[in-house]
Amino acid sequence: MAMNKNKYEVKGARSTFRLVLRELGYFFKGAALNIFSPEFLVVFIPLLGLWEALPRLGAVPRTLVPPPSDVAMAFWEMLTVRNFLGDVASSMLKFFMGLGIAIIAAIPIGVLMGWNIAVRKRTLPLFQLLSPIPPPAWVPITIILFGIGLPMQTFLIFLGAFYPILFNTYQAVKDTDPRYLSSARVFGASELTLILHVYFWHAIGAIIMSVKTGVAMGLVMLVIAEMYGGRTGIGYVLNEAKDYFQISRMVVCMVTLGVIGWFLIEVLKFVELKLAVWKGVR
């Protein structure tokens, strides 16, 4: 790992910038190709057409099942009149705070639990007892502890993402092949070195996988959290649109959440490709 770093440092800021640009290009190209592949478009476009046609032909009530064109118009109206991007930004702030804290907390704890049986015996039962509690069940006590607002919402998102990351990390670290450990130990590796250079890298694939699960759970909790308190955010707009019978706005929020989730998964896939490059090569 050290070698790579040196190489980049020598290259200088300008080419680093170019490198970042190039990687971003790869990322967006790859992500776009996933959605706009001919194979998928063959399925997607007829589906979209059906969705547009059914309400327009009166097969389903249009005000209850708005066609995509209505949804697009509602989206445009929300962007221009209501500052919907502000809501998206507010949701993303909460989401990334929650997810970030979950990652920062769960990965080290998971690694420690997987690394050492003494740590595991002292902590695992606690997490095993707490984790089956469905995260939404935490809402009332969270409101009591944090009141209503950003800390409570962040905490709920954190709760949603924490356990999947923790358990997957722990499991993957625990399952590290003992022969990797043995060969490093014979060379004199300390436990810290083992954690940083062997356990972690052995588990990296599973960790990224678990962050994907964390993203999904975090989005669930985002919507739930935004139903309580606060007057911004996609979940709030979603619920408000429901309350005031604006179905197309509801659909805009749902689609937005879907796109955000998809985008984050694509980002993680890309991160996996970069971090676990050794897994892909053959």
- Binding residues for another protein, rule: CB under 8 A, are 1-3, 61-64, 81-83, 86, 116, 118-119, 147-149, 177, 179-180, 182-193, 197-198, 201-202, 204, 229-232, 236-237, 240, 242-247, 276-279, 281-282
Matching residue, tokens 């640009």: 21
Judge whether 191 and 110 are in contact, CB under 8 Å.
no
Q: Which residues contact 147 (CB under 8 A, 6 or more apart)?
A: 229
Nearer to another protein, 202 or 212 (CB): 202
Nearer to another protein, 18 or 279 (CB): 279
Query: Which whole-number Å values give the CA distances from 187 to 55, 177, 203, in the listed order?
Result: 69, 17, 21
Nearer to another protein, 47 or 281 (CB): 281
Kind and range of the H or E run holding 178: helix 178-186
Q: Which residues contact 20 (CB under 8 A, 6 or more apart)?
A: none
CB-CB neighbours of 75 under 10 Å: 19
Nearer to another protein, 14 or 282 (CB): 282
Nearer to another protein, 39 or 243 (CB): 243
Residue type, 174: K
CA distance 169 to 211: 10
Nearer to another protein, 31 or 143 (CB): 143
DSSP-derived secondary structure letter, 176: -
Judge whether 268 and 212 are in contact, CB under 8 Å.
yes
Q: Which residues contact 156 (CB under 8 A, 6 or more apart)?
A: 98, 135, 138, 139, 142, 221, 224, 225
CB of 142 vs another protein, minimal distance in Å: 13
For residue 47, give both structure tokens: 């589906």
CB of 84 vs another protein, minimal distance in Å: 10
Nearer to another protein, 31 or 65 (CB): 65
For residue 125, give both structure tokens: 């039962």
